[in-house]
């Protein structure tokens, strides 16, 4: 299976990056092909809603690093979003990246895809309710199959995360895909 993992934290070795590492480790052991896109280190312009991407065949007006991600959105069997929770939702870089899915709408609607979400946060899991809702609504919109949500609660930093069993859960999730 082709799996596209999109991370969004600027903490290169932070909690969500570590969750992505463990998911990928498991998924690779299970024989899957991984493409990892670390959105926080990419140049991605926010969508400005000009809708030029919906007319003609030139795609988005911004020819930035989404050009690297787009083919991996289209050919992925599974797309995994991995984000820290910022103010009860995915962080800004993840949202900017998701908004740019718009230029691929026609190809993404109804495409046979699985979809998963991994979040990390300081607070108990209620903090991820916004992100979980957004994620499920996107899955409904595109008619993608939700195969997993891991909300790594009480994980303000790597030391706190290591005291939980969420890294193991991320690995096992990857291994079970």
Ligand X SMILES: Cc1cc2nc3c(=O)[nH]c(=O)nc-3n(C[C@H](O)[C@H](O)[C@H](O)COP(=O)(O)O)c2cc1C
Between 89 and 108, name the residue whose CB sits nearer to ligand X.
Answer: 89
User: In the complex with ligand X, which residue's Cβ is closer, 9 or 104?
Assistant: 9
Stretch that binds ligand X, among 56-64, 81-89, 93-101, 140-148 (CB under 6 A): 81-89
* 131 secondary structure, DSSP code: H
What is the C-alpha radius of gyration for the chain, rounded to an integer number of angstroms? Answer: 16
Q: Is 11 in the site for ligand X (CB under 6 A)?
A: yes
Site for ligand X in 34-73 (CB under 6 A): none
129 is an interface residue for ligand X by CB under 6 A: no
Residue with tokens 């706190």: 160
Task: Provide the CA 149 distance to its chain's centre, in angstroms.
Answer: 11
The CB-of-131 to ligand X minimum distance in angstroms stands at 10
By CB under 6 A, residue 93 contacts ligand X:
no
Reading the block at residue 177, the tokens are 């895909």
**DSSP class per residue in 72-113:** HHHS-SEEEEEEEEETTEE-HHHHHHHHGGGGGHHHHTT---
Least distance from ligand X to the Cβ atom of residue 173, Å:
17
From the list 3, 6, 15, 131, which residue makes contact with ligand X (rule: CB under 6 A)? 15
- 154/163 Cα distance (integer angstroms): 9
| Site residues for ligand X per CB under 6 A | 9, 11, 14-17, 84-88, 120-123, 127, 155-156
């Amino acid at each position: 299976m082709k799996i596209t993992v999109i991370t969004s934290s600027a903490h290169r070795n932070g909690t969500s990056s570590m969750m992505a590492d463990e998911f990928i480790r498991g998924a690779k052991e299970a024989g899957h092909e991984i493409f990892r896109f670390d959105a926080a280190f990419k140049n991605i312009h926010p969508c400005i809603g000009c809708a030029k991407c919906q007319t003609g065949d030139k795609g988005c007006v911004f020819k930035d690093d989404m050009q690297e991600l787009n083919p991996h959105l289209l050919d992925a069997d599974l797309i995994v979003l991995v984000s820290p929770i910022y103010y009860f939702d995915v962080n800004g870089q993840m949202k900017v990246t998701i908004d740019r899915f718009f230029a691929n709408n026609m190809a993404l609607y109804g495409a046979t895809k699985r979809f998963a979400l991994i979040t990390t946060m300081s607070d108990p899991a209620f903090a991820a309710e916004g992100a979980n809702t957004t994620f499920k609504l996107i899955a409904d919109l595109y008619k993608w199959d939700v195969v997993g949500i891991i909300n790594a609660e009480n994980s303000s930093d790597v030391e706190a995360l290591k005291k939980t069993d969420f890294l193991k859960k991320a690995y096992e999730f990857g291994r079970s895909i």
